[in-house]
Each structure stands twice: as structure tokens, then as C-alpha cells.
Amino acid sequence: MAAGDLCLSSGREETRSCVHDRRGSRINAAGFVPNGAEPMNKNRGICEVVAGSRQMDGAGVKLLRVLGPAQTSAFDPFLLLDAFDSRNPDDYVRGFPWHPHRGIETVTYLIAGDVEHGDSLGNSGHIRDGGCQWMTAGSGILHQEMPRASPRMLGLQLWVNLPRADKWARPQYRDITADRVPVVEKPGSAVRVVSGEYGGARGATQGDYVKTLLLDVALQPGARWSAAVDPAATLFLYTIQGEGVCCCDGGGTIKARRAVLFGEGDGIAVEAGGTGMRFMLFAGRPLREPIAWGGPIVMNTDEELDRAFEEIRNGTFVRESGAEV
């Protein structure tokens, strides 16, 4: 999705005890940079809250652009997050007709709805309730995503940056149906493991190029949930519905439809409010590489970006082998 131009507005609500350098590393107020070599036995605190902005993309799809170019340093390796929640098909059925991608992976996760997909590799199918499409654009792919009228369209799309060494990887499509997403149930919580590992369960993918933890966490009213996390990873959550609090030094309310970035630590703890809470949790180690971003293409240099758009114009953009020539 997100086939068109990207708004540069930050949507930032709050910044707390940490700042970000231009390489995307997280630095706290004392200037400490974690190396991930030793456990910290510390729950992460809230570092930044982003509300995003309402936008229209594709052929006329209304969505909430939660993360975009203004957040790339702080949220590295994650580039973009679009969220959609509508019971009105007019908000989304125009969809995202054929468009290119290069240099990224797109992850589309549906809690409810139906999105028809097709791409230049010959893949086609539907993403439905509880399913995920994990697409490696790599060296270049053309695809379309066309939502179908549904009682409710609820989900999100995440863009994960590819490392410089893997920008020219062979394009790949992974169809992760709901029956392939394990659910870890404990008193007060149900956690769907889309990628990575949690509670002894492994997701259908771990991320071939950027090891990515992606969890769908549903909490009952008042339930407290905690998990160990990689201290070297960027960690954030997006609240789909409900509210809660961060169980850490400094605390902090976690509101609905917000991206919440966490600072240093090797754990996270959240307590749901009185109506319960559902959120997506994302974690991955930052790349700290230059970013050249133009619409659906994300490379490392302006020259690579210019080359991509020239290839789109002359019809040489798609490489079946995925090898640079």
C-alpha cells in the first residue's frame, strides 16, 4: 500500500527522556548508548509518542499514516506504518492499483477484512481475517492491493527497510494465513505470534533480512502483560483499541491509535485499562544506514533512487533473478 507521495508531517505528540542521533541510535539523557551485550534487567520506558495524520493514498483510500519519513531515524529499521479501520467500503475499495516497490519489505496484517493481492511474480490471492502478507520487494516488484467490501476493514501495513547488502535481493511473497499464526494464551492475555518468537511459539517467519518481532497482543481489562525483548532492538507498539499504562519508571498513559516508542531496556510491561487493550508490538535491530526515499522506492543514495525511476520509465525495473546488473 502507500503507493503515492508521502506526507512529511511528524504527528509527534510527546518526546520524553531520550533523543536520537542522525544514525538512528537511541541515546538517553545521560548519553548512554546500549550495545546489547549484557542484560539490563530493566523495563523500557516511553521515549516518544506519535499520533500520525489522516491521509488519502492509492486510488483514494482513507487511512491513518502513523509513521513516515519524519520518524525514520528514531524508529529504524521501520520506515512506515499505515493503519486502517473502517466500516464504510467507500473509504477503501478503490484500493492500491499496480505500483512498484524496491529496497523494502511490506508487511500487511489484517485483523478483519479482505484484501486481494497480485504481483509481477505471478502470485495472487487474498489476505483475510487474521492473515498476513509479507512481501520482500528487494530488487523490484510490481503489485496491487485491492480491498474488498467487508463488514469491517481493520489492519495495518508496515514497511521494514532492507539493509544495503540486501536491497537487490530476489523478490519474494509470503502468504501467512491465520491458521499459521500461533496464539499464546495466558490468564488475561492472548498473543498472536506473526513473526519472531514469544512464549515458546515461533511465527511463520522470523524475517530473512531484518529479524523482526511482530506480536498481536490482546489484554483483558486490568490485565498486566510483560515480555523480555532484545536490548539492542528498536521497540515500539501501536494501539489498535483501548488504553493502558506503561509499567516502568516514569509510567505513562498509552492511548488508542498511537505509536509508542520505548527507550533502553531488556523488557516491556503494560497494564490494560478498564475496557481492555489490543496492540501490535514491533521490534528489530536498527540498520543505521543512509536512506534515500522516493514514494514506493527506498534506497541508500539519490543516484540509486534516480536509477529506479528511470528503470520504471523505460520498462526495465523488474528483475526476475533479483541480481543487480
Instruction: Using the structure block, give the residue that is written with the C-alpha cell 481492555.
Output: 276
Q: How many Å apart are CA 82 and CA 2, to the nearest integer?
A: 8
Rounded to whole angstroms, the Cα distance separating 270 from 321 reads: 44
| Per-residue pLDDT at 54 | 96
Q: How many CA atoms lie within 13 A of 81 on its CB side?
A: 29
Domain positions in the chain: 12-314
pLDDT attached to residue 5: 42
**Grid coordinates of 173:** 511473497
Identify the residue whose cell numbers are 495472487: 124
pLDDT, position 14? 52
| Start-to-end CA span in the chain (Å) | 27
User: 182 and 214 in contact (C-beta within 8 Å)?
Assistant: no
pLDDT score of 12: 55
Q: How far apart are CA 102 and CA 106, in angstroms?
A: 10
Residue 91 has a CB neighbour count (10 Å cut-off) of: 17
Q: What is the pLDDT of residue 319?
A: 82
Residue 141 near residue 312 (C-beta atoms within 8 A):
no
- CATH architecture, range 12-314: Sandwich (2.60)
Residue 70 CA to residue 67 CA, distance in Å, equals 8
Burial 150-181 (b: 16+ CB within 10 A, else e): beebbbbbbbbbbeeebbbbebbbbbbeeeeb
Q: What is the pLDDT along the chain (325 residues), one digit of tens a residue?
A: 655 444 333 455 554 445 433 333 333 322 223 333 344 578 999 999 999 999 999 999 999 999 999 999 999 999 999 999 999 999 999 999 999 999 999 999 999 999 999 999 999 999 999 999 999 999 999 999 999 999 999 999 999 999 999 999 999 999 999 999 999 999 999 999 999 999 999 999 999 999 999 999 999 999 999 999 999 999 999 999 999 999 988 889 999 999 999 999 999 999 999 999 999 999 999 999 999 999 999 999 999 999 999 999 999 999 864 444 3
- CA pair distance 229, 227, nearest whole angstrom: 6
Distance of CA 98 to the CA centre of its chain: 21
Q: What is the pLDDT of residue 236?
A: 98
Please count the other Cβ atoms lying within 10 Å of the Cβ belonging to residue 230: 15
Separation of alpha carbons 276 and 298, rounded Å: 37
- pTM score above 0.85: yes
- Other beta carbons within 10 Å of 321: 10
Cα 217 from chain centroid (whole Å)? 15
Residue 62 near residue 86, CB atoms below 8 Å? yes
